[in-house]
Structure 1
Amino acid sequence: MKQVDLGNKTAFGEFILLGFSDLPQYQTVLFVVFLLILLITLLGNSVIITILSLSPQLHNPMYFFLGNLSFLDICLTLVTVPQMLKNFLVEKKSISFSGCMAQIYFFLTFSSTEDFLLAVMAFDRYVAICNPLHYTMLMKKRLCIQLVVGSWVTATLDAILNTVLTSRLSFCGPNKIDHFLCEMTPLFKLSCSDIFLNEMVIFTEGTLVVMGSFSVILVSYVRIITAILKIHSAEGRSKAFSTCSSHLVVVTLYFGTTIFMYFRPSSSYSLTKDKVASMMYTILAPMLNPFIYSLRNNEVKGTLRRVIFERIFSQKM
């Protein structure tokens, strides 16, 4: 166990990510599965970004936010999956102390930005459905950029604070993290420092970031559903709901697992449940999001078919 003496405190030079090491006979299978997930995620989200960039008819606020969501999904996947893939192939599943802190920082930045962005997308759908005549005037390009930049800046500040506080902890005893990534909760179990401040910051900022974003989404959808129910024709209601159904599915998938992760009683904590929940919103959700939006959004599907047809036609010519 490599340790560095820092005066009256001890810091590990590296940590061991146990991940799925309790399934040694399935390491090769898991490597193939997560490699496919990585490739599908990168391809799916890259296709979404490309389609939105090449199609002028999709240059509106809703798809501007969707493009940013796809970019975030790529970033979030690249923070977690490559390290997992490496650990499936090596016997010593180590990560340096600085690498662990970097993973915590980028993971918090991308995941918190996604929280805010999903709230922004809910607000966008609220304006589009509840104030359609003022939508173009309210959701101007400048405001959309400010909302995205604000999401990134706020998430970055949150990540910096939590990463700095975590890096200042002393660690003693085993250096094994029973997780597939450097995540603060299992890391605290290795600390011999007082983690009260860290836990308070996580709880406070977690409440503000996760529950604050979720509250915006909840209020937006209550008003959206109320407005939709007031539409007299079934066709009108169906058309209005179709513009936000994809986002609603993504929100349910992402926030359902996030809230389960961070806002459940400590008595119900389970390492297995923790890993599964983390996998849902850090790995599976980014892979599924492009399919949810492409399969449930007629404009995206139509544009995708047109782009594919034009490419095939141009090759034949």
Structure 2
Amino acid sequence: MKSMTSDLGLIENITTIIRPPYFYISGFTGIPHMEYYYVFLSLVYIISLIGNSFIMFVISMDRSLHSPKYIVVFNLALTDVCETTALVPKLLDMFLFDRQFISYNQCLANLFFISIFLFMQSFNLTILSYDRLVAICSPLRYHMLVSHRSMFQLTGAAWVFALLIVLFPVSFITRLSFCGSVVINSYFCDHGPLYRLAAPCCDVLPNIVLSYFIPCLVLYIPMVFIIASYICIIHALFTITLPKDRHRAIKTCTSHLILVAIFYLPINISYLFVSFIPSNIRIINLSLTSVLPPMLNPIIYVLKTEEFKVSAKRLLKRV
């Protein structure tokens, strides 16, 4: 009798995790004239792929661009290619060919890859702001503080940190039980819509905490660093006496600031005003945040740089 009671106690303590065989990504369902948006996404993907691949090719082939700054630029282009490739082809496949069902394991992989490349976008912009900060505020110490070794260390640390951080939302999803709906109200397997599906079935408090903690680590802390950097840069600009040098410094900072605004503003709008923005508009806004920066990064930041244009022309003449 005592043995039977203990067995029943063990059975009661066993937690059964319900993992559905698939999820359904609702995405842009119900939004009118979305076929034009799919054409737009296809064009954005092609431009991103060509532009960023060209940048990586020129940097790798021209030794004059093997400088610390272009280590980060190459990393930014690589991240852009990986992010759009992880997102856009699968997105077009799902919604153009009505394949919106995605298996449980594929969903976790989708969450992992899109998240890690999104995090790296933020870290790359932060490292580039550090480069501008040192170049303008401490030009005499630039080659000591911004060396090949330091840039490799920063970009390597960023990849490791992004990898470790992204493992948390993925692993925390695996502990959830999905006993109800399997419809994800997003355009990919996003952590927030995923854990909300499990809310009626199990405790999602750790996921809620994580949904606030991770954006602070990968978005808001880097953004605060960038803002603080530019406060120091603006102060340093007033000490530059030659108008030509000041204009050149402002030009390089303006390109970087445009990239920062394109990346951070839509994300902040979506997260801070989530209660006031209709769901469909929020989904489109976030999807644009994922695809537009990779397309615009090479155009705004790299292709307008005189040093890169000279190298590209020299390389194309050889070909």
TM-score (norm 1): 0.89
Q: What one-letter code is carried by the residue in structure 1 that aligns with 2:154? A: L
What's 2:73 paired with?
66
- Change in Cα spacing, 1:237 to 1:123, as seen in structure 2 (3 Å) is same
Matching residue within 186, 192, 198 for 1:185: 192
The SS at the match of 2:275 is helix
**Which segments of structure 1 move beyond 6 Å, counting only runs of 4 or more?**
none
Structure 2: 5+ residue stretches without partners: 1-13
Report how far residue 308 of structure 1 moved: 2.6
Q: Does residue 146 of the first structure (1) align with residue 146 of the second (2)?
A: no
Q: Does residue 125 of the first structure (1) align with residue 139 of the second (2)?
A: no
Report how far residue 30 of structure 1 moved: 4.0
Report how far residue 233 of structure 1 moved: 2.8
Q: What one-letter code is carried by the residue in structure 1 that aligns with 2:216? A: T
* 1:1-317 to 2 correspondences below 5 Å: 8-23=16-31, 26-27=34-35, 29-191=36-198, 192-262=201-271, 264-311=272-319
Q: What per-residue deviation string (whole Å, max 9, x for no partner) do you get for residues 97-145 of structure 1? A: 1111111111221111221221111111111111111111121211111
The answer to whether the 8 A contact 1:210-1:259 is kept is no
Q: What percentage of residue pairs aligned between the two structures are identical?
A: 32
Structure 1: 5+ residue stretches without partners: 1-5, 312-317
The SS at the match of 1:15 is strand
The SS at the match of 1:11 is coil
TM-score (norm 2): 0.89
The answer to whether the 8 A contact 1:245-1:296 is kept is no
Structure with higher RCO (Cα < 8 A, 6+ apart): 2
Distance 1:291 1:266 in 2: 31
Q: What one-letter code is carried by the residue in structure 1 that aligns with 2:119? A: S
- Change in Cα spacing, 1:256 to 1:30, as seen in structure 2 (3 Å) is closer
Report how far residue 69 of structure 1 moved: 0.4
The SS at the match of 2:24 is strand
Distance 2:298 2:89 in 1: 20
The answer to whether the 8 A contact 2:187-2:283 is kept is yes
Larger radius of gyration: 2
What's 1:315 paired with?
none
Count of paired positions: 304
Report how far residue 289 of structure 1 moved: 0.9
Q: What one-letter code is carried by the residue in structure 2 that aligns with 1:247? A: H
The answer to whether the 8 A contact 2:111-2:191 is kept is yes
Q: Superposition RMSD on alpha carbons, in Å? A: 2.0
Q: What one-letter code is carried by the residue in structure 1 that aligns with 2:162? A: A
Report how far residue 177 of structure 1 moved: 1.4
Distance 1:279 1:92 in 2: 18
Report how far residue 57 of structure 1 moved: 1.9
Q: What one-letter code is carried by the residue in structure 2 that aligns with 1:240? A: A
What's 2:9 paired with?
none
Report how far residue 169 of structure 1 moved: 1.1
Report how far residue 265 of structure 1 moved: 4.8
Q: What one-letter code is carried by the residue in structure 2 that aligns with 1:290? A: P
